[in-house]
Amino acid sequence: MIALRVGLAALLLMLAVTIQTSVLTNIAVAGVTCDLVLIVVIALALSRGPEWGAIAGFVGGLLLDIAPPADHTAGRWALALAIAGYVAGLIRRETSAGPVGPLGVALTVVFGAGLSLLIYSATGALLHDPSVDWGQFGVRIGIAAGYDVVGAIVVIPLVMWLMSRFTATRERRVMTREF
């Protein structure tokens, strides 16, 4: 059961990295694209909790760090997305009395986009990355948050449905065999 969830999460992350680095780069505004990997990480965190969010964020970020055309120090996206995924999972844990509503999901995506971009830029500034431009930071966060919320409308329900579908199917099969 765990292996199926892990395999599905890995497949979703690899698909997100591939689409983000090959397709979404063509629709960038001011150098910012939809962060599909972040959206998948948040969806996994909202469906499984903070531990899954942190691990998915680390793996997805590491894939982004090493996928061409990466031009930055490896580990920056891994750190940023791991923390964003963990925080999104904490939001799930705090709302365990009921599901996170559409407004809560949108706010989680906006917060995750801002947090991950802040961490990524801050680590770049610490490492003296010349591409970090704090003057355009507010504009980039606004564009990133807008893009990510639009992408989340489709991606988060799909990922959460897939995770619940595969999980529920497997658990039903196991329970059926036991009785």
One-character DSSP codes across 53-68: HHHHHHHHHHHHHHST
Parts of the chain with a pLDDT under 70: 1, 96-100, 167-179
Spatial contact of 78 and 116, defined as CB atoms under 8 Å apart: no
Chain centre to alpha carbon of residue 133? 23
Q: Give 152-163 pLDDT, tens digit per residue.
A: 999 999 999 999
Q: Tell me, yes or no, if the pTM score tops 0.85.
A: yes
Vertex 81, ends 115 and 51: CA angle to 5°?
110
Distance CA 51, CA 38 (A): 15
Given this model, what pLDDT does residue 99 score? 60
SS3 149: helix
Round the CA-based radius of gyration of the chain to a whole number and report it: 17
Distance CA 38, CA 13 (A): 9
Given this model, what pLDDT does residue 96 score? 62
Given this model, what pLDDT does residue 174 score? 47
Given this model, what pLDDT does residue 4 score? 87
